[in-house]
Amino acid sequence: MLRQRHVCGQVRVLAAAMVAGLLASAAVLPASAQNATPAPTAEVPTGNAQPTPEQLATAVQFLKASGLTVGFDDIIPQYLQQATAIYTGQRPELSQTISEAAVSLVPEFMKKRVDLDNSLAKFYTTRFSEDELKQLITFYESPVGKKLATQQQIILRDSMPVVQGWTRDLQNGVMKRVREEVEKKGGKLGPSPADAPAEGDAPAQPAAPAQ
């Protein structure tokens, strides 16, 4: 169960990192890419329009060049290892058969990895023209682009505690300041969630009555 929670947690982190990576990538793209002349609206499919095979292939190439989905490459072997461990724990005498079965399924599930790329690529074909995607690929194939692609996941992973701490402090600060301003005007508010004792802390004991 702990292993399953760990893997699921990794999936959530990777998904969050991918979204954050999109923002980080846009922030550091060179001016030539950010200020590219907008393509005519007709070149950018909208709504339920299906991309052409060429557009889809270009978008998939962008995903691979940018490294935005590289973290998902590890999920399939992790799930296969998880299944192997669970079933081996149930039937240790079948450990060899279970391991061989898991290995034989790698090609089948790698096709699902391709499905993910194609599904995610469609988000880009509806927002970027094929020419714009090619410009982005050119950037990511440059030396600085390759460095960004390899470093951004590490940076996002290491920066998550900073973001989490900032959002926590911001939330607590907002609750505190709103309460202070209300109290200045004579109002009285109850404690905020930030005032609750941390899990595991002993509840505060009431003061002893004065003698």
Local structure of residue 97 (DSSP, 8 states): H
Is 73 part of a structural domain of the chain?
Answer: yes
d(CA 119, CA 145): 24
**What range defines the domain where residue 26 resides?**
2-159
Is 172 part of a structural domain of the chain?
Answer: no
Is 22 part of a structural domain of the chain?
Answer: yes
Is 39 part of a structural domain of the chain?
Answer: yes
Enclosing H/E stretch for 161:
helix 143-184
Is 178 part of a structural domain of the chain?
Answer: no
Count the domains in the chain.
1
**pLDDT tens by residue, 184-197:** 988 888 877 666 66
**pLDDT tens by residue, 137-181:** 999 999 999 999 989 888 988 999 999 999 999 999 999 989 999
**Tokens 């702990």, residue?**
2
pLDDT confidence of 71, banded at 50, 70, 90?
A: confident
Tokens of 142: 């440059």
Is 121 part of a structural domain of the chain?
Answer: yes
Is 48 part of a structural domain of the chain?
Answer: yes
CB-CB contact of 73 with 65 (8 Å): no
Is 86 part of a structural domain of the chain?
Answer: yes
Nearest one of 30, 35, 34, 54 to 43, comparing CA atoms: 54
Q: How much is the pTM?
A: 0.59
